Every structure is written in C-alpha cells, then in structure tokens.
Structure 1
Amino acid sequence: MSGVRRRGRPVVEVGAQVHFGGVRWQVVALSRQGFHLVDEGGADQVVLAGHLFADPGFAVLGAEPVQAVPQWGLFETAPVAAREKAMAWLRHVREVECGLPGGPDSGGVMRAEYDPQRWTLAERERAKAAELTALGFGRVSDRTVQKMRLAYRKQGLWGLVDHRSTRGRSGGGRQDERVVAAVREVLRGQRGRSKGTVKGLMPLVARLLDNRYKGAVTMPSRATFYRLVHEIAHPADHPATRVRTVPVTDDGRGFTPTVALRPGEQVQIDTTRLDVLARFDDGSVGRPELTIAVDVASRAILAGVLCPAGTQAVDAALLLAEMAVPHPARPAWPDVLRFTHSTVLPAERLLSLDERLRGAAARPVVVPETVVVDRGKVFLSKAFTGACEALGIGVQAAPPFAPTAKGIVERTFGSINTLFCQHLPGYTGSDVTRRGKDAAREACYSVAELQELLDEWVVHYHHRPHQGLRHPMLPKIALSPNQMWAALVAVAGYVPVPLTGNDYLELLPVRWQAITEHGIRLHHRTYDHDLLGPHRGQPSTVAGRGGKWEIHYNPHDVRQIWIRLPDGQLTEIPWIHRDHTHQPFNDRIWHYLRTITGQRAGQDAEQAEAALAEALDALMRRARAGQATAQEQHLLNRTTTVRTPPPRRSESPYQAPPPHPGATYAGEDSLDGLDQGQETQDLAQDETMDGPAASVSGYGLYDAEEEALKW
C-alpha cells in the first residue's frame, strides 16, 4: 500500500514504507497524532506526525515525487505566446502520464494510444511525439517529450515555458568574455583606493588585455566601455558613485540598526580624537583622545575618559570602573544634576539598594552584559579582557572593516563634537577647511580641565531629549537617556518565531520590488539582510518586470518577506524592526497605526517607521493586559491563527528574538510579570496537550553564534 496517491499527493497509512531518521520503517498502526513504526530488525517506536514530517530525510517509499507547486509569480513574467505554448504542453504531458489531458479523475474519454494499462510510458511518449509533430509543434522527438515531462514534474508549469523568451540580460551583454573578466579584475583591484573616473579605467583594462593576450583581444569603443562598466560594476566600486551613498561594506553586508532591549545588554566602546585642542603637560598643543562607552538601549554615555594621546589598556579598564560604580557629583554642580534630586530616575528605590547613589550624579549606572569593541590592541589586550572577565562582561569584537557595527557610538562622537566641543576655545572644526587661523592660540584648557567639563556636560546630556529614544506609550515624544533608562528597568518575554515551508511560500501573494541600498521597501516598511548585499541596486534576471525582484509576503504576518534570489530559492528577509513585535501582525493593523499615529513635521521615513514599530509594541502590550479597545482587539484577533512552532536550534540559521524591554503604564504596576506568567502558562499547557516538544525545521531570524561575522 506504500506509495498510494490521492489527488496527486502521497499518503502515509498502515502498511506504508517510510524513510525516517536514516532508517527504513513500516507503519503498523495509527493513534491520534502518532505513528507506530517498526524497522527491518523488529525495533519499534511511536513518532508524532509533526516530528515525522519535519525530518529532513522523510519520504514515502514507492510513491512518485510530489508535484512542485506552480511558480505563478515567474510564470506571469513570460510573454503571452510562451505562456500559451506552456499551457498547450501541459495537456499533452498530463495525457502521457495518466491518459487524460485534464489530469487524474478529470473525466472524459481516454484515447487508446495513451492508455497506461496497455502501453508503457516510453511507448506513450513515442506516440505523443508523432502527434505533436503532426500538429505543427515542429520536429518533436520522444526525447523532447520525456524532457518536458520531467521538467514539469520538477518545476511545475514553469518548467514547460521556453526559457529563451524569459532569459534576462547578462552582465556583459554580447561583449567578449575576456574583456568582461578584465574589467571585473581591474574594478576589484581598485577597491580601497581613491576613486577616479570611468575614463581612467580604460588604459588599465587595455594594459591588462595586452599583457595577457598579446594584442589578440580588441578594446571596445569608449561608449561601449562606459556601458559595460555601468552594467557590471557594483555600486560600491563604480567610479561615478559616491561612496557615502552606498551603505554597504566590502563584502556586501548592509547596515542593520543595532537593537538592545534592556540597559547594559550591549555597550559599544570606541576611541577617537576630539575636535578641540588642549594644552598637554609638556606645553604642547594637540587634540586629546576620548574613549567612551554608550549603552545601546538607552543611548546613555556610561563613561568617558580623556587622555593626551595613545589610549592604553589601563585607560580602557578605567572606563569599565567608571561604568560599574556611581559617578560622584562635584560640589559646585547645581542640585538638578544630582541623583537624589532627579524627578526621572527611580531614586528612592535605588537608594535603598546602594547608598553611594546619594552623592552621585544624575546619570545611569550600568554593569554591561556585553561590550562591543573594534579590533584595536587596546581592547583585545589581556588587561582589558581580564578586567571584563572579572566583572562578568562578555567582549565581542566587531567585524573588520564594518564601521556600522558600532554606529551608535560613532554617532555619539558626532554629538559630543557638535554639542560640546564647538562651544570651547580651541575648537578645530571637523576638517581643515573649517579650522580657524588661531585655533592653537585660543586653546587654554588642559586635559584634566576638559575632563571636568566633559563630566558635567555628560550629566546635562542625559537630561536632553534624544530623537532615537521613544516610549512605547508615547511614540511621538523623544525621551532623554535618563527617562529611557528608567523605562527599561523591567523587561518582557517574547513569542517564538513562526515557521513555514517551501510549498506554502510559493502560494503566498507575489509582488515585484526593487532592492535599494537600504533594502526592500514594502508598504512603508523596510526589509533588509546581509544576503541582499551582492544584489543591492542590481536588476533581477527576470525579463518582463523592469529589473524588479519577485517578492512573496504573508498578509497575515508581515514581519518578514521572501525573495527569489538567482539560485531560484525563496529566501527569508526580516523586517528591520522585527524585535519590536511579540506576535504576528497584518497590514490592517499597520494601516490602523499609520492612521492614528501620523507623521510629524520634519520626520523622515526612517524615524516614522521606528515610531510605528514602537506604537505596534505598545498596542500588543495593551491587548495582553486587557486594555485594548474593541477595535484594536478585533484587529489583533485576526492574526492569532498564524502561530507556528519555533525553529529547531540545530538547523535553523536564526534564533528567536531576545526579550523586549518593558515599561510601566498607567493603570498597572508592571507588565513583566504578566508576560512571564502568560508565557509559562502557555508553555505548560502545550507540554500537557502535546507531550514533549518535537524538533522541527523552518525559518527564523537570528543566529547569535555568527552575529559577529554577519552584522
């Protein structure tokens, strides 16, 4: 009974032979969601249906291969004539396979020459070849019929399309492959060097061709050469493209916003020279070096250490001590800068835990969980790593040549220069064109005096609203680092990442979008991943869509999309603000949030999208606490049916997102206990109903083990 097909799909029933876990089994009994299996040696086991079907090597032995799901998105890009011919081939292929043009159980009269009971498959293919030749399909052989039948079995209707009509433009067009290879080699050789013009590449390519082929290859004309470079050059390598307009690294990794969900979860540390001159102890004048630590979650400057030049490992270790202990307030500071007089920080509760805060400055005190540093010798020295180990702090080195990996601390340096340094005597400006004539003569502060001024300014900075900090309940109001730190004291749980399969993805709605340098924009949301690096700004190979790429999306769960890359597979691309969400949401919820939130004057698309993500998180929290309106609860209920199992850790390339920061809202003490209790209750209920969780494979979003190399 193994291999029985019903409506084209194999079934698993009593007596069927299956391949599971690398072993051949026979199904001897069915019980609810379990299969009782026995192998050739007599060993038996009971396996849940979900665990059985999720096994990578699972197959029903003796059954024909499962028919591929039609790739309708690609099929619609073919010309009309090619589609009509493919539909005509479809009826003939079906008739060869089962004897009826409409497929099994389609009804009608079966022609004698295609009766599977009387003729073999090879004989039916030979008869069909003769028939098609007589019908005007050209000279068709039985080999051609077999090829089309196998293509249909493997790719569905898309396999019957004449792909000569859908072939996209190649990178080099009709140019000599040796010329194209030479241009690519010269472009690679120019990486990391100052850019010139396209005209300047011509003698380099000509010299390379002459040295390699001794005059056997002719250079194309100037206009053709310009078009060739424009076709095959990556945006980061093209001489006519400004580097700052291409936010990708040398290996194609794109910029992804760094997200931390609780204070101290990730702290970025870096060193730079300030744009201000100071007088050193030896009487010389120069720009001091500043090393700071910035908390990603609250944007708080946890510590800052100035030194004349050449930051040492001990300076970096001092930075850790500055973060881990309260910073004392100076006697001359106003009371508003003292911790005990702060109206934002939870002073009363924290004073009961640490009496040292009574004389401290009004700034956060955080012991980091992980510090992100560059690959400088100072931060990889034994002194620094040993200090981090003693404090229980993990050290994570940023990927090489990836400045966006520490984008927050880099931007904070810019804020210090514009908000602090430019108001001091001896300010040099950001470059030599902005420097005054007497900047060195104006310098009057020593490094110690600048350190005192900087310490006081940092406290003021923590009271200043930051445009990148938003409260979930007040997404339109910019919070200060102190306010954000107070709001993120408590943290919440998370929802497992939904899973899906290839067949399901092929049936999702299709859109055609371009891949820009920022990723893929869909309905005012941005989707991005490192996998898009080689394809940013590049047209797809699909003819008939103007260079756009095939995108599949789930209208009931828009936290990710799937793109068909040149390998032909659908690849998951996440929403850049996915960590803000605790459950799937659809376009109706997104449209509702855009309607009630609106866009502030002067707010760009990126800020508006971040504000919407925070509003979405607040909406889901209100719904879990029972505080959502009837309309909001109705919108959220429409997405509760798309919950799927979490990905298997051993095979999924991503991990479930970490907990998202919580906050205290009006009318409740804290949502953390509610989130944690509800999650524990759901987990206990699942284990009671379904038994031990079965391993499944699917799609996720995060792989912490490879984070340092794939930011």
Structure 2
Amino acid sequence: MTAHGEVRVGDRVRFDGRVHTVVGLEGTIVRLVGENGSASLVMFSQLLSAEDFEVVGREIETVGVPPFGLLATVPEKLLRRAHWWEQHLIEVETGRPPKAEEGARPKPEYDPTWHTVVERIAAKAAELTASGTPTSATTIHRMRRRWREQGLWGLVDHRATRLSSPTGRCDERVVEIVEELLAAQETVSTGTRGRIFRQAQQLVAERYGEGEVTMPSRATFYRLLTAMDGGRHSFGSAGSRRSRALRPQAPFTASDAIRPGEVVQIDTTPLDVLAVLDDGVTGRVELSIAVDVATRTICAAILRPAGTKAVDAALLLARTLVPEPMRPGWAEALRMSASLIPHQRLMSIDARLEHAAAKPVIVPDTIVVDRGKVFVSQTFIAACRTLGISVQPARPATPTDKGVVERTFASINTLFCQHVAGYVGSNVTQRGQDIQAVWTLGELADLFQEWVLACWQTRPHDGLRSPFLPGRAMSPNEAYALLVARTGYLPITLNGEDYLELLPMEWRKINDYGVRLDYRTYDCRELAPYRRQHSGLDTKGGLWEVHYDPYDLSHVWVRDNRAGGWITVPWTRLHTVSAPFADFTWRHARALLAARGGDDCDENEIAKVVEDLLQRAGTGPDRRVVARTRSASATPLRPAPSETATANAAEEDGEGELAQVIPFGVFDAFTDGSR
C-alpha cells in the first residue's frame, strides 16, 4: 500500500506560484528545481504550509488516525463486524489476508500483478455472495473509500453510535419554555417538578394558544427536566443554586501570587459557633480575617459581635502589620524562634520578634475586598492609602475574585469550628439539639489565635507547592521561609499617632464648652487656646478634625493643626458612667429616653440611661445591647488616655479625687508599636 501523504523524488509540486520538481530529500530539507532550471532548498514544513502547495497530477491523501476512544463505545458485535470488513479490504488492496504467512502467494483473483482494483473488488463481491453474505461491488467500493479516509471507524455501522438528543422528541417550543423556567429557579425558593409542569402548561397556552402545542406526558416531562437540569440544583439546595449562579460565565483562574504580601484577601463571615457575650446572653459572632495568597498565612483575625464596622476593618489591617505577641498559657513550641520562620535573620531588623508567636508579619501590597460597606468605607480606604496599600474591590457577585479567603472560611469551619463546643452548623438542617454556648467571646478569640499558630500555620496545604519540590505540600510557615529569601522583609511600625489615623473622624467646632459629638460634650484644658478659633482649613470652613473610637466613646482626639500632634479630650460626663460604652449603646439609650417621653438631646439624661444599661442585667433587647457593648469593649481600639487628660476631667467636673482609669484590652497603640 502507498503511504498516505507521501512526497517522493520525481514528484512535481506547486509552490510559491510556480511548478517545481522534487529532485532530492535529505532529512527535513527538500531540494526543488523550477521549470526554468533554478534550484532551491526548502524546509518540508514550509513547503506543506504554503497556501498554494499541491502535488501536480495526483492527490495527497491525509492520514486517517482512528478515534480509539470512540471505538470503545461501539457494541462488541458491530466492532467484530468492522474488523471482518477490514480483513477483506486488506486482501483486496494487497492480495493477501492480514494473517497470511510471510512469503505466501496471493490468490490468483486478488493478485495485484495481474488484476486491477476494480477486478479484485468484483472478485471479493462474488466470494462474499457465494459464502452467504450478499454483497455488491458498489458496497465494497463505498466501504473501501470510507476505510481509506477514516480507518476502522469508517467501517462501523454508525446507526448504533448516533448521539441521542437530550430533549428527545419534545417540541422545541416546550424545550424553550422549560429552559426559561429552570433559569428562573435561581432566585426563588426550591419547589417540585410539579410546579414547573403547571407553569409550563400555563406559558404554552398563553404564548401559543390552547391546543396549538402538544405537551408531553407528566412522566416524559419529568425526564425532560432531569436531562435539562444539568447540575443546576433547581430542585435541591437553594444555596447551591445561588452559588452556581454567581460563577462567571467566562473561564477563570485562581488568584496567584509569587511573593508574600503581593495579594492579600480580606473578608468577614458569621462564625458557626455560639459564644457567651455577657450576662448569659449567647449569640453568633463575626470573624474577619486577612489571608496572604502566596503563603496562605492568616495574617490577622478579629472576632466581634454581629455588626462589624469599618473601624474593625482598620484594626484588622493594623494587626496585620505588627507581630503577634505570645500570650500567657501558650506552649513554647508556638514561639517564632521555634518555628521554620528565619527568626534570627528577622530579629536583626525588628527587635519585637524576640517574643513573637510563630506567625510571619506580612506587609500587603494589594488588598482584595468585596463591596461590603465595611471595606469600601472612607475609614478603611483612607487607612490603606496612608499605609501605601492598593485596594482592589472584587467584581459584584463574583466570589471567584477572592476565592482563597472564601476557601479559608470553609477550612476554618471544618478544621476549627466543628470541634468547638457550641458549634451550630452552617444551617438549621445541620444543627443538633440543645446546643449550648460555652466559651466567651474573649476566650473564643484566644482559642482561634492559638489554633491558627498550632494548626493552620504548620499544616501542609495542597495549594502550596515549590517548583523544586513539586511532590511535597508545604505549610504557610514553610512557604514564607522559602519566599522571604527572594522578597526580603520590611516591617512597618505603627505608633500611637499612626493608629489614631485609622479611627473614624468628624469635623467639629471648638466652642467655649469644648467639642460636641452626637450630643456628647468633650473638653479639657489643652483646648483653651483654640476655643472659637479657626482651624486654618478653609476647605472645611475652619472646623477641626476629631477622631473617635466607636467602641469606647469616653475620649476623642483632636488634631492640633498648629502645634502638631493630637489632643486627647475626655468626655465631661465620664464620671457618671462606670464602664466604656459603644456608639450603639449611646444610640439605644437615646431611643429608650425618647420612648419614655424624655429629651433624647439632654446629655445628662442620656448618660444616666447609659449607666443604667451597663449596671443592670435585664432581659430582651436591653440585655443584648449590654452584652454586645462589653464584649466589643474587651479589646478597644483606642490608646490609653493620658494621665493629664484624666486629671483635667476630674478637676473640671468638680471631683476631688478620681479613681484610676484602667484601659481595657490587650492592644495599646502607643506602646505595642515599640515593644
């Protein structure tokens, strides 16, 4: 048999608009001689890829490679029949059957030396007819042509390999309506197939009239729904259905980074664990985390009562930029000096790492956030701008833009939450009976931080691989140790003034009585030179910049535009309230006062209601507000008030001696930055 697609010496080929004769072949080089006697050397690939290439006088046949995967789908009986045809066609082509012994002489009627192809085909048709298989020469011609073009696959009876339509013989108009109804299930509650059947009947009648379109039977219609549903979960979980609908239509790839801090993803989610807030009130809390894409390190985490604020996002950002200190009761194995992180090398740059826990400090270059109001707030954006960090909002309804942090939440749920007392599951169908909260918010936060160090940072992740060790998964600490040598390390130290920049701000006048903020008055001696004075900022109408901590309203900070720095200003009614309180506590107290018929603008009356809220353990909404307030103020965002400001407040309020004010919390921005 002649090889398919063969170019031989002596062939005349058309190339580059002229006819040439092949006079030599050497490897992949073809020597051509034109009609005018000019010789040239051409690469064989260049010759075949030319648009006008052809072999003059005969046709180059393409090589037909059989589709082996499709042959595996052919029924055994039909495949044997195809092999049977192939054996006879080989005898027609070569004169000998495929299993003939070497040197065997062909049958006289099939000898290519004495008989043409047409004669051999006629002889084969007569032989098959005589043996009980009536066959015409036309049939053999057709089978020979298909065999030369498609190989064994061309000899298969394709009636058994035809693909069936997924919608069967249903009317295309019915199929179109079913597709429309299935697409509409993404936003509605889960129903049954019977509801779709009824809706389809109504739509068919409305659009095409009664009796114009034949509806399939209920059983056929249900089979049609099963074929067209195709993993949409139209009759399953609504959550799975909505999640599938949020997937982008275009192909997407996972987020990738090659150095620590290149991309950090931030998000917030309710934690599937009940916590004891205060006075026995229980409730779920919200977890906010920052995850480095390159190393999968959980850079920082914050647990808060429901209602995460923009200032919490700013605090999360600040904690990302400072080392995690060792806490009492933690094992020595959790120290950075005992981990794979290059502790000694980093110690020469930042002395704070001497007592740091085994979690790397990563400075973000780009932060990916969703479009929640917490992360697109002016406070958070301003904080990132101050620290030189780019903020990249994810596209609306596109969770794949921050898939790493979304997957981290799922891992936290399976690796941490389900092992904690008070686990309630991700939905009510997974909740057990009589689930009781055991851990307080502070204790749960400590447990989570310890789990991050002991489990997450040392656990191998399938998504962390080194090109030098492709068969071995690395832990976040190992990935950081590998990448830090390539990218270096540059810590950012946050002092007290830097930290105050992260707090929300208002623009206010400094009057004779001080600064008024939401019907609260703040005043101290340091404000005396600036009373009724212009701040010098014409764009703000002479107002002064005031920063406040929404979780502790006992003090505010006024930027000193003239002398520089900040002025810590205490609340003038600080002595009337026994504990720090949050802004939602103040708003709730005003609402209670208004409900009683009082003046919700009277600072003294509001302060009394706030004190009453914080002192008594009630039930219902009041009790929950108290619990949220105290739990949130367990880790305040503000620096400790200065002794001078506290003393000035005591003198101006007429108090002879004021008890020492002990700042609540574990993070002091004026001192932690220098430890």
Q: TM-score, normalised by structure 1?
A: 0.48
Q: Which has the higher contact order (CA 8 A, sep 6+)?
A: 1
Structure showing greater Rg: 2
Q: TM-score, normalised by structure 2?
A: 0.50
